[in-house]
Amino acid sequence: MIYVQIKNIINPSELIRRVFLFCRSTQTHLKTKMSELKIAIQKNGRLSENSKRLLEECGIKFSNGSGVLKTTATNFPVDVLFLRDDDIPQYVEQQVADIGILGENMVLEKDKDVLITEKLGFAQCRLSLAIQKEETYPGLQFFMNKKVATSYPKLLSDFFRRYDIEAEIEEISGSVEIAPGIGLADAVCDIVSSGSTLLTNGLREVETVLKSQAVIISNRNLDAEKKKILNMLLFRIRAVKNAKENKYILLNAPESAISRISKILPGMKSPTILPLMEKGWYSLHSVVKEDEFWESIDKLKEAGAEGILVIPIEKMIL
């Protein structure tokens, strides 16, 4: 036995063959690893639940138990990394992650060399200046020579520069809203979503510095394989987004009302019209935009529509 092993090792051609096979298997292994697109999402915070939900709605299955920092999807070639949103732009620039889902506010603040690939429409918020609620606000000159606490020093200094305001920026990484109350600053510049954080801290929003929503950022140098996975993912994301922005609508109408109703509900191509059992009556099916929905309903009723049903759409491929 020992003899066989020694014989194998000292046989140069066998050694070369084994080294070759080993290298090839490692390469194949690396190649398989390479083909997973690494998606960074926020570990905890405003965006984390919605980011996970978006991937799930795209049909991507992965475990997201608490404390897990990285997981591989079981049915789509992606790894999901759970990171602090503040770190995501840098990791995407360095390709620790290939793409990231995070607030546009953080992307613009960190100013890394990454591409904003898609706006996602959720986590809408604004970066705002806020002052203590009892103070009078004469306009932007309020901030002249004042101290403003923020986690967004770049965006705030750009904003002040644009309006020739000389102010001191106190950079703090969290709980910015308590700064005026403890005498650390005269005002704050922070993310406002519902406004409840400002309210509970006795602050009043006075200026909007930037409007923001969740976006996908991607590394500039993705290889062809990863670009392909990203495009597959974007295709699914758009289908989910379109579905959310639209409703499926069914209604009954007499023949005389069909042409008026069809003009109100043009649908994806044109409405589907099916005859009912009752002579002269039709069922009309179409798609209506969520934000035009109530307005359309009123017009439809006026035009003679009856028995209107509105149904959510699961996915919508255009």
Judged by the rule CB under 6 A, the positions of this chain that interact with ligand PRP are: 45-46, 85, 151, 174, 190-197
Degrees, nearest 5: CA angle 124-129-130: 105
155 vs 249, which CB is nearer to ligand PRP? 155
Say which entry of Zn ion, ligand PRP, none residue 190 contacts (CB below 5 to 8 A, set by partner kind): ligand PRP
Which option in ligand PRP, Zn ion, none does residue 194 bind, with CB closer than 5 to 8 A by kind? ligand PRP
Tokens of residue 252, six digits: 């009954």
Segment interacting with Zn ion, rule: CB under 5 A, options 61-69, 85-93, 129-137, 165-173 = 85-93
Least distance from C-beta 84 to Zn ion, angstroms?
6
User: For ligand PRP, which is the closer residue by CB, 193 or 256?
Assistant: 193
Residue 192's binding partner among ligand PRP, Zn ion, none (Cβ under 5 to 8 angstroms by kind) is ligand PRP
- We find the least distance from the C-beta atom of residue 163 to Zn ion, in angstroms, to be 27
Q: What residues contact 304, with CB distance under 8 A and at least 6 apart?
A: 253, 254, 256, 257, 260, 261
Cβ proximity of 28 and 68 under 8 Å: no
- Binding partner of 49, given ligand PRP, Zn ion, none, CB within 5-8 angstroms per partner class: none
Query: Using CB distances below 5 to 8 A depending on partner kind, what does residue 193 bind out of Zn ion, ligand PRP, none?
Result: ligand PRP
Nearer to ligand PRP, 209 or 229 (CB): 209
**The one segment of 81-89, 107-115, 176-184, 203-211 that binds Zn ion by CB under 5 A:** 81-89
- Tokens coding 21: 């096979």
Q: Residues 71, 79: contact at Cβ < 8 Å?
A: yes
Size of the site for Zn ion (CB under 5 A): 2
**Looking at beta carbons only, is 141 or 193 nearer to ligand PRP?**
193
Q: Which is nearer to ligand PRP, 136 or 196 (CB)?
A: 196
Q: What backbone torsions phi and psi does residue 79 show, to the nearest 5 degrees?
A: -110, 140
Q: Note the Cα 11 to chain centre separation in Å.
A: 58
CB of 170 to Zn ion, least distance (A): 18
The nearest distance, CB 86 to Zn ion, in angstroms, is 5
85 binds Zn ion, rule: CB under 5 A = yes
CB 176, min distance to ligand PRP, A:
6
Residue with tokens 């930037």: 210
Q: Minimum distance from CB of 103 to Zn ion (Å)?
A: 8
Long-range contacts of 239-245 (CB under 8 A, 24+ apart): 239/315, 239/316, 239/317, 240/54, 240/57, 240/58, 240/315, 241/120, 241/121, 242/313, 242/316, 242/317, 242/318, 243/312, 243/313, 243/314, 243/315, 243/316, 244/121, 244/290, 245/121, 245/289, 245/290, 245/291
In which residue are the tokens 């044109």 written?
Answer: 270
| CA distances (Å), origin 1, targets 11, 20, 107, 163 | 15, 24, 62, 83
Least separation in angstroms between residue 301's CB and ligand PRP is: 37
Residue numbers at the binding site for Zn ion (CB under 5 A): 85-86
